Structure 1
């Protein structure tokens, strides 16, 4: 009788004691960062909080979002959202990494910013009396302080990048190789945003189909893109683009696109890491020189088109929502009306936390295509169809995506164990 009574009691105590030991910190933190965060490093370095895997069980929900800077770095927005006893206490900090920072420098800087944001929460707990804040700062000479006050950028905010590479692989009956090259020059200030880039790629595949026959597939593409955008307040901007392109898949020997555009953001641009709802209208002139005669019996033509795009991005504690829609409408090629030629695209998706530990993600996209003026008149060979070297005629494209994630079990676990690489 005593044994039947003691065994459940001992089991209950064994379940309670680990839970109590694991809640040693007075602050529970839910880290919400999908990109650019080294979670293992952050959990190892920050020991003054308990990391939990369930948002609703946390005292502080830390939502981290990021955007690229003109120098190739990133600006991280750290939104500390108080919950439970801290629900009236929220704050937002930022951390900026340079384009030349290593991964280790970036993660150390982000971790320091997280620690700084947690101070005000720890200060309202019984641990406050044991907290000591130290500011480490190197002594600066008068000349160094003057240089920092009146710093001159010798590059005038310009950032340049050069990258390239290639690969080759083969087996007994096939081989393939690829070469690629990228160039870019960017300048970003509060008033102007300038982007210039050049890209080239060559891809060749060879297949031995027997009887001393070889099928060769060659794809080449290249482009040059220039864009300049002028800031016009917290909601408006205007700019223009120049785009030069060549693509064997699109039957285009050379093309150039030039035109202005204007954009309105419902929310201030300063809030773009958390939410943005942009509308952009553009008007463009296209000149195209085709490799082969098209289905409209031309080898080159000039086009006028206009387009309207709407884009919504929302990142909140409950999840993320994305929606993008664009209508591109051809007007004329100066020989005939093209008002029946257009392309409509819509794509959206969401990731939503439904309940404790349960989240779902889903999305879908659809394109109505009525502007394939570049299609060649001659029949496309079976080799081109199978290898995907030529664009096929189509009136639509669509895709559907979905998934889910369910996590259950212990939500209190700050242990990082890197053994066996997992």
Structure 2
């Protein structure tokens, strides 16, 4: 019986593969008519549907690995002051196009949908491809349009006696009735349950920010309440877990030079899990970037020093016999962020030290690397580790069994860590042109609705 099952699986697989051979051969023949091989390297917002780009730009050969490409397009994005996204497309020539590089940018508004974002990226992608397609057979399919005031692609305006792309213009507060201020309100609620378990989660948030080249100000608030009810035994009382937190934070930053900044952070809030009835802190500091901030879409290397004034009102007396206290602490953070053709890397190291007791400190290391090692093979490694010696908030009464199992209280620890390791290997045809959504499915175990 088992041999019969295995034979049936093998036969079905062979039939499927044989049916696909004629169309695969035809597709291979079609790809020989196009010269430029394009690798789109975009992993952030706006690039969730790569089939869209393959469908909209059929005049190139889409390949799966940059080693096979004539042109590598690296897309990065950053949050703008208004809450939108600034997309930067770096066109990196390879092979016969080696040394032919350019960068194009475009921004989207805070309420832009996924479709708005991908169309914005597509517009700049098409514009940037012109330089590389003019010497190929695909040049006959290029149509250049200069649109009017409502246009997007290739829109140019006169400023200072020269024509520049509209997205490079610097807006002034006189053009903006809101004077660069942006406000947001939001919230969500989640309910789920089973016969013996019920859970609810309520989250509300608000924020206001104003961002210019010289100043950056942001204030945000968050309220969160989670409640879980467990019926372990119908004859016994329910086990109820409630975790409630709120937090109000702000940051004010002044740009001094292309590499230096001054800033101050403030935080206030409450956390039942951390034995905090109320807390506040104020942290002035300075930051130096070893590369200009204008290059932040591709690389950052910052060193930040803060002096922290922290105050707590505790719900219960702590193991240090305190019900409230105010302490000084110094912290230093080094951070590196790289987005390059070979991959992406983020790494930060933070050390903090309470000034009243040298035995109270914390060192935290966080990082992630996603790298292509060779053709078709990539690895990603990420994780964090913290050496913890500064838990001033621990209550004298410790934690009950329910607190431990339901994680209602932070327990005493000397460390915490998290790690993830993965890899991906693709091999076979280098071409990635065809889009075929048939039998794509669409099932799943959850419902998601997004309305903007």
Say yes or no: TM over 0.5: yes
- Runs of at least 5 residues in structure 2 that lack an aligned partner in the other structure: 1-21, 152-157, 160-168, 442-452
Q: Distance in 1 between matches of 2:150 and 2:259?
A: 42
Stretch deviating more after TM superposition (70-79 or 130-139): 130-139
Verify the 8 A CA contact 1:23 1:412 in the aligned structure 2: no
Q: 1:178 to 1:127 in 2, by over 3 A?
A: closer
Verify the 8 A CA contact 1:239 1:260 in the aligned structure 2: yes
**How far off is 1:18 after superposition?**
4.9
Q: Distance in 2 between matches of 1:108 and 1:163?
A: 26
Q: Does structure 1 residue 188 correspond to structure 2 residue 207?
A: no
Stretch deviating more after TM superposition (100-109 or 72-81): 100-109
Deviations 1:105-130 (A, max 9, x none): 22111101100000000112244355
Q: Does structure 1 residue 117 correspond to structure 2 residue 140?
A: no
Q: Does structure 1 residue 398 correspond to structure 2 residue 417?
A: yes
Q: Distance in 2 between matches of 1:93 and 1:23?
A: 29
Verify the 8 A CA contact 1:319 1:353 in the aligned structure 2: yes
Matched with 2:353 is: 329
Q: Does structure 1 residue 355 correspond to structure 2 residue 350?
A: no
Q: Does structure 1 residue 291 correspond to structure 2 residue 325?
A: no
Deviations 1:75-121 (A, max 9, x none): 11100000011012111111111112222222111101100000000
Stretch deviating more after TM superposition (121-130 or 298-307): 121-130
Q: Distance in 2 between matches of 1:167 and 1:404?
A: 34
Q: Distance in 1 between matches of 2:140 and 2:112?
A: 36
Q: Distance in 1 between matches of 2:195 and 2:25?
A: 63
**How far off is 1:244 after superposition?**
0.2
**How far off is 1:167 after superposition?**
1.7
What are the within-5 Å matches in structure 2 for residues 41-190 of structure 1? 41-128=52-139, 131-137=142-148, 152-190=175-213
Q: Distance in 2 between matches of 1:232 and 1:273?
A: 20
Matched with 1:233 is: 257
> 2:321 is paired with a residue of what secondary structure?
coil
Matched with 2:360 is: 341
Q: 1:69 to 1:252 in 2, by over 3 A?
A: same
Matched with 2:426 is: 407
> 1:329 is paired with a residue of what secondary structure?
strand
Matched with 1:4 is: none
**How far off is 1:17 after superposition?**
6.8
Q: Structure 1 residue runs of 4+, over 6 Å off?
A: 13-17
Matched with 2:37 is: 28
Verify the 8 A CA contact 1:22 1:413 in the aligned structure 2: no
> 1:120 is paired with a residue of what secondary structure?
helix
Matched with 1:418 is: 437
Q: Does structure 1 residue 245 correspond to structure 2 residue 254?
A: no
What are the within-5 Å matches in structure 2 for residues 301-340 of structure 1? 301-332=325-356, 338-340=357-359
Total equivalences in the alignment: 401
> 2:81 is paired with a residue of what secondary structure?
coil
> Normalized against structure 2, the TM-score is what?
0.85
**How far off is 1:136 after superposition?**
2.5
Select 1:268's aligned residue among 273, 292, 295. 292
**How far off is 1:418 after superposition?**
2.0
Q: Distance in 2 between matches of 1:73 and 1:364?
A: 29
> Normalized against structure 1, the TM-score is what?
0.90
Stretch deviating more after TM superposition (14-23 or 129-138): 14-23
Matched with 2:231 is: 208
Verify the 8 A CA contact 1:63 1:80 in the aligned structure 2: yes
